[in-house]
Amino acid sequence: MASPSNPTLMANAIRALAMDAVQQGNSGHPGAPMGMADIAVALWGRHLKHNPGNPQWPDRDRFVLSNGHGSMLIYALLHLSGYDLPMSELRNFRQLHSKTPGHPEVGITPGVETTTGPLGQGLVNAVGMALAEKLLAREFNRPGHDVVDHRTYVFLGDGCLMEGISHEGCALAAAWKLDKLIALYDDNGISIDGQVAPWFVDDTPKRFEAYGWNVIADVDGHDTDAVDAAIRQAQQGTGRPTLICCKTNIGHGSPNRAGTAKAHGEPLGADEIKLTRTALGWPHEPFVIPEDAYTQWDAKAAGGAAEEAWNDRFAAYRAEHPELAAEYLRRMRGELPPTWAQTALDAAAAAHAKAETVATRKASQLALETFTKVLPELLGGSADLTGSNLTNTSSTPPLRFDERGAPNDGRHVNYGVREFGMAAIMNGITLHGGYLPYGGTFLTFSDYSRNAIRMAALMKQRVIHVFTHDSIGLGEDGPTHQSVEHAASLRLIPGLDVWRPCDTAETSVAWACAIESVSRPSALLLSRQNLPYAPKARLDDIARGAYVLAEPSEVGLKKKAQAIIIATGSEVQHALHAQQLLAVQGIAVRVVSMPSTTVFDRQSEAYKAGVLPKGLPRIAVEAGVTAGWWKYGCAAVIGIDTYGESAPGGVLFKHFHVTAENVAATVAKVLGG
């Protein structure tokens, strides 16, 4: 890209829009956009490969603003360079239903690649994007045809580096030799509480050198040419990701606020904005940008030409490799192959026919064995628990990189003990496109991952979390590892589908639903211990989240149900046994298996009433906290509202009275009044 003729004008346009929009909205963070404006000119004006006319062009560079509180920086860049973000939206900064929300949100603003704000996660999303690019290039590029060839750039601040997730993600970026990942660090020394020196004592360049990054230190962040030169150096292909440390002055240009915490998170104020305009030599009224600035920022022609050149290269690629080209486009669109639906049906039917007694973590691996064969986009992994989570299959060998950084054909990522980093990297992978990531750990460690899971739900991204060892059933490891509140807690996250299947068929269906769930992440909660297969007449309704598993007639009673037992996961076996015990007493009950409360809650009122008809007492049983079950109008809930104990799983179920006998006694008591 040609060097801008007036970088100062371009940078000051960003500063003016940032301070005007924050002042207009009476809320926001002007300091970072004003301090990083010259860095933005260097990257967006001279290097970034993007097309404002088509924000979803597959081979565009990815840009992430990890310090998302500085959202007016990216909004100004998108507006100035020609995206569909008119000035009216900048005037509407942080207002209801605007395209300029307080923090950047993917799917709301054209050109925003990921939702940022929780610090550090954007940086680690960028690691996932860079990994996806590298693996897609390995899979699809052919000699003379580099159809996957782009970089990932990320802006970050002190707060991103203070967050522990930055350690998890950046260590992996170095291990994976992601040399197309370039991070530009806004080293302004200021956070909300003031000068960071008393509490941020890291030597950041040495920290990243220790990871194995290429570090370019002490760059003047207000010298566009210096930043430009650092980016060019980073692009030379060192075999390592690059951190460019840019010294900046927060709120640059503001006579009285620059370099202080007052510039960070509040409007400058009308008087200070007037002084800043004078100091910058910016005579224009609020939200007025001179035509010369628009002309220099305009990226539409260059972006269109870059995409057109790629289209020509892709056409040549498609002529020589038509099947690969079709597969690449399918994958980038996030579509499943035409054979998928039948594969999913066949897998569930096979599980039903075999009726195996296995742990649902093993049932998960059995389903994955089938699905990873037919879906090359499935990219698995585990946070150092592969042998326990059983996330690997014969189609997903371990991912490894040679000394030059070239990946093998592996499709299973060893994330190490980095649950949070794994979750945020998976978000970046799915945001990039081309892969459907899944990753495993113990359910109790979902707390480490939780904010990244929430972000996936907020962004409506298809990510699959495999959480094994889901209850006291794991046994001797004790209460530190035994989940009691986690299933209920995950179900509270809007937009997250939580599955707790009871056997191989339900697990297969849960996996199929998660794979098909294009706008929701999913969490699969799986047992360590073996579970018996639950006989069932049909499989069709499992995907609806809950279904009638057994009527009274199936235990020899020819009368209507007097009560309903609702159960999930490992407790379904207790519900079925309780049904038999009650039948001996002449008490007729219906057993409902509810592998996914979140999916069931979205069904039609007619379907829900068919499964849980009014007038019948409902008794729920799950080896976890009882709080989430009362919404179903239960007369009683059998669960665990304390922490677990260290003992064999079978002993613990009896100790906590999660047994068929207690379920039967509770039903009898409810009916007895």
Contact in structure between 611 and 546 (CB atoms under 8 Å):
yes
**What φ, ψ does residue 248 adopt, rounded to 5°?**
-135, 170
Task: Round to whole Å and give the CA distance between 576 and 415.
Answer: 39
For residue 504, give the nearest of 307, 365, 335 by alpha carbon.
Answer: 365
Task: Round to whole Å and give the CA distance between 221 and 73.
Answer: 15
Task: Round to whole Å and give the CA distance between 39 and 17.
Answer: 16
Task: Round to whole Å and give the CA distance between 384 and 527.
Answer: 18
Our CA dihedral for 8, 11, 12, 15, rounded to 10 degrees, sits at: -160
Give the ranges where 585-644 is alpha helix by DSSP (H).
Answer: 597-600, 605-611
Our CA dihedral for 4, 7, 10, 16, rounded to 10 degrees, sits at: 180
For residue 73, give the nearest of 173, 189, 156 by alpha carbon.
Answer: 156
By CB atoms closer than 10 A (0-12, 13-18, 19+), residue 394 is: exposed
Contact in structure between 25 and 7 (CB atoms under 8 Å):
no
Q: Is 419 a catalytic residue?
A: yes
Place of tokens 């002490």: 218
For residue 67, give the nearest of 176, 216, 184, 174 by alpha carbon.
Answer: 184
Structure tokens at 163: 């967050």
Contact in structure between 42 and 49 (CB atoms under 8 Å):
no
Q: In what order do the strands lie in the sheet with 618-621?
A: 547-550, 589-593, 563-567, 618-621, 636-638
Task: Round to whole Å and give the CA distance between 644 and 474.
Answer: 10
Task: Round to whole Å and give the CA distance between 128 and 196.
Answer: 29
* Distances from the Cα of 118 to the Cα of 6, 98, 105, angstroms: 34, 20, 12
DSSP-derived pairing of the beta strands 618-621 and 636-638: parallel
Structure tokens at 39: 């860095």
Place of tokens 């890209």: 1
Task: Round to whole Å and give the CA distance between 48 and 151.
Answer: 9
Structure tokens at 405: 């950084």
DSSP-derived letter for residue 379 is: E
Question: What number of other Cβ atoms are within 10 A of residue 87's Cβ?
Answer: 13
Structure tokens at 609: 């009433």
**C-alpha radius of gyration, the chain, whole number:** 28
Residue 290: CA count within 13 A, CB half-sphere: 13
**How far, in whole angstroms, is CA 509 from its chain's centroid?**
22
3-state secondary structure of 626: coil
Interacting residues of 173 by C-beta distance below 8 A, sequence separation 6+: 127, 130, 181, 211, 213, 241
Task: Round to whole Å and give the CA distance between 602 and 595.
Answer: 14
Residue among 419, 506, 571, 622 flagged as catalytic:
419
Query: Vertex 471, ends 465 and 474: CA angle to 5°?
Result: 100
* Amino acid at position 553, single letter: S
Interacting residues of 24 by C-beta distance below 8 A, sequence separation 6+: 91, 93, 286, 287
- Report the catalytic residues: 419
